[in-house]
Amino acid sequence: LAATAETAAVTLAGVEAETVLTASAVAAIAAFAARSAAKKRMAEWEVAMEEDAHVAHLQQAWRAVLRQHPEAVLEANFLGQPFGCEQVKQRWPRLVQTLGISEDQALKIIEMDATPLLVESDSVSEVLARLAAISSREKALELVGRSPSLLVGGAMNEATGTKNLAASTLIDVLYAGRLYRVLEEEGRDNEGKLREIELYAQLLSAFRPCV
């Protein structure tokens, strides 16, 4: 009986090892296929960019998005909203216009953190206006220069309502989900709100390189 049990155990171990190896091989093939598909799609998007005006800055902004948010690009989706090359082509000039700065300056911000290009331009514009309303436009641009993710606070505020606690926490910490709650807090003066947002901007700039 002992010998039989030992033989069965060896056989089972062999089957499990073979299963693991097979699964690993399948995963490796799938990963290779995904990378190949990604390279092909990115090449197609690069060609599409060549046909656009302001191509130099736009291409660099798009490359920053590809580097920082490859999942959103390959899934063509960010937080349930369509996302891709066309959205970036539309949002890039709007972002430059909203910030009221040169394309070179805007590109420096996007190369630091391309998240503002992942959300609707109207949301970005509204956040900048609300930051300026509790301080000044110069101060708002200073905060955005320190932590560009602040500009997506409006979209992230909506997203937290449909996510679980863990996801909401990540959105709060990494994507400025708490910003609107600070801006809308009653019984608190603008100076107090601004102090918290400045601290928040420091936290965002510290965490973003980790993702």
* Nearest in space to 65 (alpha carbons), one of 27, 118, 12, 138: 118
Distance CA 202, CA 181 (A): 17
Convert the pLDDT of each residue in 65-111 to its tens digit: 999 888 888 889 887 889 999 999 999 999 999 999 999 999 999 99
Does the global pTM surpass 0.75? no
Strand duo 81-82 + 77-78: pairing: antiparallel
pLDDT tens-place string over residues 153-192: 766 555 544 444 444 454 555 555 677 788 888 888 999 9
What does the pLDDT read at residue 156? 57
Q: Would you say residue 10 has pLDDT above 60?
A: no
**DSSP secondary structure string, 66-114?**
HHH-HHHHHHTEETTEE-SHHHHHHHHHHHHHHHTS-HHHHHHHHHH--
| Higher-pLDDT residue of 209, 155 | 155
pLDDT band at 199 (very low <50, low <70, confident <90, very high): confident
Q: Which residues of 126-145 are buried (b: 16+ CB within 10 A; e: fewer)?
A: bbbebbeebbeeeebbebbb
